[in-house]
Structure 1
Amino acid sequence: MSAHLVHGGALDAALARFGGRREDWLDLSTGINPVPPPLPALESELFARLPEAASEARARDAARRHCGAPAGAGVVAAPGSQALISLLPHLLPTGPTAILDPAYAEHARAFQAAGHDVLPLAAPEECPPETRVAVVVNPNNPDGRRFGRAALLALADALAARGGWLLVDEAFMDADPRESLAPDAGRPGLVVLRSFGKFFGLAGLRLGFALTVPDLADRLAERLGPWAVSGPALAVGERLMDDAALVRGLREAIARRAALTRGAIRSSGFVPTGDAALFALVEAPRAHALFEALARRHVLARPFVRRPDWLRLGLVRDEAEAARLADALAGARGDAGA
């Protein structure tokens, strides 16, 4: 399995290996909304000037309203939540760090690089007592597990009582925010990360937010430095997050596309698992062979090196793509012996 093909969005690598034109491919390798809303009209001045402090403040306030964070919470804007994932390990106490496993691998990589002793965490209730920092992705990527608010808040309180922290990555929460801890942001020992690009389908904009206590927010902002987020990204983020009708419509459209995607998976004889609206997981004994067979049909999924029995599929756009996925999965299943 090529290293380039085990990351979502690796369409160039797939083209190089399996051929075809970009327009021939059905790219389901990411958990990004495949149908973003229209971009708002932007003033040309936004591209010519450094972003103003007032523009960043408006984007932070829009994120606060959109996520439901309280007025007392600190909010930090960053050029994507990945930047925050890389910075936070340098600002949180070093020591035993329990990270949900399996989960988004960049968390473990960042904490290890910052000198933390990383421990695998099966579930929030099983966090070792010596833990200084715990990291939970909710809903989890790639298996779509969800964790209840009560369990996460109990863990946050237990960690805070001994000077520790709970980091909850809610990159996929916007589509269905029922367990979000954003309304609890500002609570001691709690950091919540949100990704703008996945839900709004604008990952290339590079915009993310940390919701936490004001002191940590100030230290994160200092580490990021001035003008960390572009003026156009701040303006787009502010306007789309503040459009409540648009947000409702996106959630409804994502739910419809999720139902189409899962229906296509079931019709081909597989069982979609997980409870994340923006992707579904398929378990198959020969998932890597299934990935290859799909790619030969110009359908790009997301394989996993550590779990050769897993394949993640993003959302189709419409009924035609759902039918294509169903046909491709059925044919690939026969080819792969899955």
Structure 2
Amino acid sequence: MEPDAVRRVGREPHGSSDDPDVVDFSANTNPRVPSGVRDVYADALDAARTYPVEPPRAYREAAADYVDCAPGDVVATPGGLAAIRLAVEVSVTAGDDVLVPAPSFAEYAREVRLQGANPVFVPHDEVLDADPDEYALAVVCNPNNPTGECYDADALRAFADACADAGTTLLVDEAFLGFTDQPSLAGRDGVVVARSLTKLFGLPGLRAGFAAATGDRYERLAAARRTWNVGAPALAVGEHCMRDEAFVADTRRRVREERARLRDALAERFAVAPSDAPFLLLDVGDRGVEEVVTRARERGVAVRDATTFRGLDSHVRVAVRTREENDRLLEALDV
């Protein structure tokens, strides 16, 4: 990191509530977890009495099967954001320009600034039309957060090819791709994929994820990665979760059905953006974001104030949870 930049760059706001008296729709995490997680975690505590195996072979093999790449492409990280930071650190130097979608996850721009580099914001739905030759790194969030839509798979692959031809690393954040049937770009030359396990598997406090890349990009990630950067319980639980194909399939089905039901109901009162993700972006219009957020909170529901995303001024974001919880959201929003 660039020392002067570290002193200048602040924190970014995020969703999530630790209030036990509210249902949290502000964070996009699965309300369910795979069966057996508690036992796997408990068993891993014995393994935590020694340092984890380096590199974590079983975890890498599970991750490779999960996204259909080679185990040798996988770099374990403590969460998806750690994978994003690692990719930026090994790809960007002070003064570089980096292509960043907007509105999108604010941590991309923060990580770029921490390197002393310059985020160049492009509308998220135009990012694949940009010329990658102008940037040291290009970032894509698929599906995009907070808008929710996946990019066309063919167009994304074409952009990845254009980045490779230009010698520009493409960082694809696939934190929510596991909720969809779209294939990962893991294993594609010139691409660094960042994956979070905490969203799909409902374990945000576990801090488990990985990056995937090939060739020189993999070598740089692997060299820069801290030794023993993921603890034994997280490795064990992460491996267990990625192997649970039935849980993934059931989650995708439930989210798809509940998202459609929520979207139809919410569209009677708000403008709702199309989404392939486990969340929906609502334009609340004249009702005002503060009023909507406060009123929902008074009724025991936390929703995300999305005005903290670049370019949004009248929006909230809501997660897709269980049917019963979603009904409570609709009631809290007067739908």
TM-score band w.r.t. shorter chain = 0.7 to 0.9
User: CA-to-partner distance for each residue in 1:17-51, whole Å, 9 max, x for gaps?
Assistant: xxxxx2x3111001111112231523241232221
Alpha-carbon distance in 1 for matches of 2:181, 2:74: 18
Post-superposition shift, 1:179? 5.0
The 1-side partners of 2:205 and 2:59 are apart by 17
Q: Structure 1 residue 68 and structure 2 residue 88: aligned?
A: no
Q: Check 1:130–1:270 CA distance in 2 against 1; reply closer, same or farther (3 A cut).
A: same
Aligned pair in 2 of structure 1 residues 244, 302: CA closer, same or farther (>3 Å)? same
**Secondary structure in structure 1 of the residue aligned to 2:199:** helix
Secondary structure (helix, strand or coil) at the match of 2:282 reads: strand
Residue by residue over 1:174-195, the C-alpha shift from the partner in whole angstroms, topping out at 9 and shown as x without a partner, is 010315323xx241x2111111
| Paired residues of 1:264 and 1:322 also in contact (CA < 8 A) | no
**1:233-244 to 2 correspondence within 5 Å?**
233-244=234-245
Partner of 2:4: none
How many residues are matched? 312
Counterpart of 2:48 in 1: which secondary structure?
helix
Q: Which residue of 2 aligns with 1:316?
A: 321
Secondary structure (helix, strand or coil) at the match of 2:333 reads helix
Question: 1:121 and 1:137 mapped to 2: Cα distance?
Answer: 12
1:264 Cα deviation after fit? 4.4
2:64 and 2:140 map into 1 onto residues whose CA distance is 21
Distance in 2 (CA, whole Å) between partners of 1:4 and 1:35 is 29
- Distance in 2, matches of 1:41 and 1:276, equals 32
Partner of 2:22: 25
Aligned partner of 2:160 in structure 1 is 156
Spell out the pairing of 1:122-201 with structure 2 (5 A cutoff).
Answer: 122=123, 123-128=126-131, 129-178=133-182, 180-182=184-186, 185-187=187-189, 189-201=190-202
Which residue identity lines up with residue 140 of structure 1 in the other structure? Answer: N
CA distance in 1, matches of 2:65, 2:90: 26
1:80 aligns with 2:79: yes
Taking the TM superposition and a 5 Å limit, the aligned residue runs for 1:1-338 are 6-12=13-19, 22=20, 24-38=21-35, 39=37, 41-42=39-40, 43=43, 44-53=45-54, 56-69=56-69, 71=70, 74-94=73-93, 95-122=96-123, 123-128=126-131, 129-178=133-182, 180-182=184-186, 185-187=187-189, 189-266=190-267, 269-285=269-285, 286-303=288-305, 304-305=307-308, 306=310, 307-319=312-324, 321-330=325-334
Counterpart contact for 1:40–1:239, Cα < 8 Å: no
Q: Which amino acid aligns with 2:289?
A: A
Q: TM-score, normalised by structure 1?
A: 0.85
Amino acid at match of 2:159: L
Letter in 2 for 1:29: S
How far apart, in 1, do the equivalents of 2:92 and 2:320 lie? Answer: 38
In structure 2, what residue type is equivalent to 1:83? A
Distance 2:229 2:199 in 1: 20
Q: CA RMSD in A?
A: 2.3
d(CA) in 2 for partners of 1:72, 1:164: 24
Larger mean CA deviation between 211-220 and 137-146 belongs to: 211-220
Give the whole-Å Cα distance in 2 for the aligned partners of 1:93 and 1:8: 28
SS for the counterpart of 2:171 is strand
Unaligned runs of 5+ in 1: 13-21, 332-338
Check 1:164–1:82 CA distance in 2 against 1; reply closer, same or farther (3 A cut): same
Give the whole-Å Cα distance in 1 for the aligned partners of 2:71 and 2:331.
51
Q: TM-score, normalised by structure 2?
A: 0.85
| Corresponding residue SS for 1:11 | coil
Separation (CA, whole Å) in 2 of partners of 1:169 and 1:234: 20
**8 A contact 2:31–2:321 mirrored in 1:** yes
Deviation per residue, 1:289-313 (Å, 9 max, x gap): 2112211222100012342211000
Question: How far does the alpha carbon of each residue in 1:213-255 deviate from its partner, in whole angstroms, 9 at most, with x for none?
Answer: 1432232233222111011111111122122223222322333
Distance 2:244 2:321 in 1: 24
